[in-house]
């Protein structure tokens, strides 16, 4: 970790705890800042706040009192989940107080170069693939950021010979200033999180912050399957490395069932362990980073042919009595489910779909459902999926939850069939979160293997 003096004796307010807030508070305290933590959860119900208080850090809990900002803070470090229309954040900006997120701290103290990945879909898979390839190549890559490992903690524990492979969200990227990865990746940009950002333009601007400080000595990897990325490629100082599944590029590309990097053959697309066209895109992005990082082709091929997927994201669960199953519970929108469905033969596929009804129609999923062998429909959106199933003459059952549904549908399946949980909906109508939905599905399928 770099021994910086930037924060010595500076009054810093950390707004919001959870993993990133805890990490930020501890790092700032270690760097000599005068830290105050403010978290909404009451102190008696807040073990994180209790821990920090025991460590000597001032904590204020049970709300966000605006008057706290009258105490002369020089900086706010905000949990990325707290929106910018939060009164505390609004007031901080009125006071011209810099509002950063924890990944900025990670950059400032990191001795290791950073590879940063963002995008609407594919971030976690691409991030994990990159780290796995670099490690398989004998390098030392450490996962960080939105993937579940607080970036500032990871950065504080790395040395110059390491590489940090950091998943970054739009929420995190809104709070950067000097952040400058050596290699940045944008997997794709679609429409999402508009409840947070307000407009698509704001959302895209937040993603684009990943390249703000890049120079021509740094690399920006962009998905040229999207015309907007070609436009963005003209708006950066970075050296752009494109990838595409539809055209030959001066980067990574797929052509005639083979994957290349700058004309060099890497491997067959059919040998990828993860199904779906979107995973070819993820693989090309990972290949680009790996080649720019000096990784050998053998390491790339080893990982891309054996990778079993990130938990809850098109995760292969194995086989039970000749039936394969995949857990894609994090497919909480139609686009993610459509991408998952591209990797399977519908004539042998049983799809679990449904969940929270956000008021939107699901008609755009219809084309991807044609020819399904069967569906298991659940949650608030049951009437909408029932309507499509009946229109397309797809056999279906309605069920209470993923466990009941799996036990009901399994006797109807045949050897060689695939069962896919890719709900196209959020989970909050029935579950605490998407992970709980996926965990229950995993356990239920494991029980069927016996």
Binding-site annotation, residues for ATP: 119-125
Interhelix angle 18-30/47-54, rounded to 10 degrees, is 10
Q: How far apart are CA 151 and CA 104, in angstroms?
A: 9
What's the first-to-final CA gap in the chain, in angstroms? 49
Tell me how far the alpha carbon of residue 269 is from its chain's centroid.
Answer: 23
- List Cα–Cα distances, 441 to 324, 326, 402, 444, in angstroms: 13, 9, 6, 5
Handedness of CA 279, 285, 286, 291 (dihedral sign): positive
Burial (CB count within 10 angstroms: exposed 0-12, middle 13-18, buried 19+), residue 322? exposed
Cβ within 8 Å of residue 24, ≥6 positions away: 14, 77, 102, 105, 150, 152
Cβ within 8 Å of residue 129, ≥6 positions away: 282, 283, 286, 303, 304, 307
- List Cα–Cα distances, 364 to 263, 293, 386, 426, in angstroms: 36, 39, 15, 17
Rg (CA), the chain: 23
> Residues forming the annotated binding site?
119-125
């Amino acid at each position: 970790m770099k021994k910086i003096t930037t924060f010595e004796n500076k009054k810093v307010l950390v707004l919001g705890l959870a993993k990133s807030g805890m990490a930020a508070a501890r790092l700032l305290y270690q760097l000599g800042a005068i830290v105050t933590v403010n978290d909404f959860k009451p102190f008696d119900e807040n073990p994180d706040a209790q821990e920090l208080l025991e460590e000597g850090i001032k904590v204020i809990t049970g709300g966000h009192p605006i008057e706290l900002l009258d105490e002369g803070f020089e900086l706010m470090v905000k949990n990325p989940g707290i929106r910018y229309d939060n009164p505390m954040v609004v007031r901080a900006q009125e006071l011209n107080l810099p509002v950063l997120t924890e990944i900025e701290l990670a950059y400032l103290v990191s001795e290791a170069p950073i590879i940063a990945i963002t995008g609407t879909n594919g971030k976690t898979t691409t991030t994990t693939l990159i780290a796995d390839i670099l490690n398989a190549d004998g390098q030392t890559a450490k996962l960080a950021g939105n993937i579940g490992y607080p970036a500032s903690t990871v950065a504080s524990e790395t040395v110059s010979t390491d590489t940090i492979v950091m998943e970054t969200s739009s929420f995190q990227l809104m709070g950067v200033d000097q952040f400058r990865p050596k290699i940045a990746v944008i997997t794709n940009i679609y429409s999402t999180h508009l409840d947070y950002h307000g407009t698509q333009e704001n959302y895209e601007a937040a993603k684009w912050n990943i390249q703000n400080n890049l120079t021509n000595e740094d690399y920006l990897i962009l998905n040229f399957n999207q015309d907007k990325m070609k436009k963005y490629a003209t708006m950066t100082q970075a050296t752009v490395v494109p990838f595409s599944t539809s055209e030959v590029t001066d980067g990574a590309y797929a052509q005639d069932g083979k994957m290349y990097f700058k004309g060099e053959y890497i491997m067959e697309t059919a040998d990828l362990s993860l199904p779906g066209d979107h995973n070819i895109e993820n693989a090309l992005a990972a290949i680009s980073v790996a080649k720019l990082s000096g990784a050998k082709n053998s390491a790339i091929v080893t990982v891309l042919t054996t990778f079993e997927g990130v938990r809850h994201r098109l995760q292969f669960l194995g086989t039970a009595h000749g039936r394969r199953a995949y857990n894609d519970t994090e497919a909480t929108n139609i686009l993610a489910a459509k991408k998952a469905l591209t990797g399977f033969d519908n004539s042998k596929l049983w799809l679990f779909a449904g969940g929270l009804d956000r008021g939107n129609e699901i008609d755009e999923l219809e084309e991807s459902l044609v020819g399904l062998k069967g569906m298991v429909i659940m949650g608030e959106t049951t009437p909408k999926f029932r309507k499509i199933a009946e229109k397309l003459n797809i056999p279906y059952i309605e069920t209470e939850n993923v466990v009941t549904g799996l036990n009901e549908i399994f006797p109807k399946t045949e050897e060689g069939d695939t069962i896919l949980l890719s709900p196209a909906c959020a989970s909050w109508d029935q579950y605490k979160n998407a992970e709980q939905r996926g965990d229950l599905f995993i356990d239920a399928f494991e029980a069927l293997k016996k």
